[in-house]
Amino acid sequence: MNRRRHASAAITAICALAVLASPALTLQASAAPLPPAPPAASAGATAPGASTGSGASLTPAPSAPRKTLEEVRKEIDALYRQAAAATDAYNLAEEKAKAQSAELAELGRSIAEGRAKIEDLKARAGAAARAQYRNGGLPDGAQLVLTDDPQLFLDTAGRLRQGARATKDLLIELTRTQAELDAYAEEAGENWTRLEAHRVKQAAAKKEITEKIGAAERLESRLAAEERERLRRLEELAQENAQTNWLKTADLPDLTAPATEQGRAAVAFAAAQIGKPYVWGAEGPDSFDCSGLTQSAWAAAGKVIPRTSQEQWRLLPRVDVKDMRPGDLIVYYKDASHIGMYVGNGVMVHAPRPGRDVTLAGAGSMEILGVVRPR
């Protein structure tokens, strides 16, 4: 019970400035309807009651149903979550494209080395052929048969065996190098195909991100300044309510659990980024998306982790929520489309979404999928 009170106090402190800066707001504000958008003018429309020229009067189209500010908030939140999922797809495709490009570069070096080796082997074979030509066009075996000098016979026989072995080794090496070169070329072709597929996925994800963020920004831009402030406050209220409910659950961790040395370093890095803007696909140093922040924080602590929130959830060791400690990563929503870093006392640091900055928030302020611990 004491740790819940400590956590509530911490979250209250985090939100205090925002609460004091916001105008007074009651829960009924979420039900306040927005003013309807002005009807679009249609071609050939006339003023009410004016003649259309055919004796018929135009009936004004019914106005669109008005949305409450809470409905707008939920719609904007859904769009940004869809953009977050698309950002994960974009980041994963980018990572795979980078890996594919590196493999192609390595294959290119191997192909270049193979070609140089083949040229060397061909040059050595040509030198052997020229040496035979200088001997009058007779192969060593024929010269051996024609000699009547016993010592020359023995010397020539030894050279013949050595030459045969060298020629055989040369042909084997040439054949093996050519086979390696063919394999490298085939692998390079397959890698290029995969690289192009990743680039197509990346472009599609980028298009979806742009569309979803654009739609959310258009919705918010239709609001008056006062309504935008109320919208921000509604977002905060929704998070505060979720945090309060989480603090009442049985899965609540030990709020004073100590961090490891690496965990402290990761937390220190993440906390130092507070105030920097969210930018999708960003990994710092001036801006971050959610998984870019967690990856960079753990890189600063000396640990390489996957780039995306979904890959961090899939590949990193999982721990129970109740065993969470500072430095652990909290994965949110069923599709693992958001992630933050637990800093202790029921609080996490994260890069929320476009239009927001890296900030502190309640660890339970969103739907928790699970917790992972880089090791």
Q: Catalytic residue positions?
A: 290, 338, 350
Q: Measured between alpha carbons, how far is 134 from 293 in angstroms, rounded to an integer?
A: 72
Residue 161: φ, ψ to 5°: -65, -45
Which helix (H) or strand (E) covers residue 331, if one does? strand 329-332
Got the DSSP string for 9-76? HHHHHHHHHHHHHSPP--GGGGGPBPPPPPPPPPTT---TT---SSS-PPPPPPPPPPPBHHHHHHHH
Q: Measured between alpha carbons, how far is 285 from 297 in angstroms, rounded to an integer?
A: 11
Q: Measured between alpha carbons, how far is 80 from 347 in angstroms, rounded to an integer?
A: 22
8 Å CB contact between 247 and 364: yes
Strands 359-362, 329-332: pairing is unpaired
- DSSP state letter for 278: B
Q: Measured between alpha carbons, how far is 94 from 151 in angstroms, rounded to an integer?
A: 71
- Count of CB atoms situated within 10 Å of the CB of 139: 11
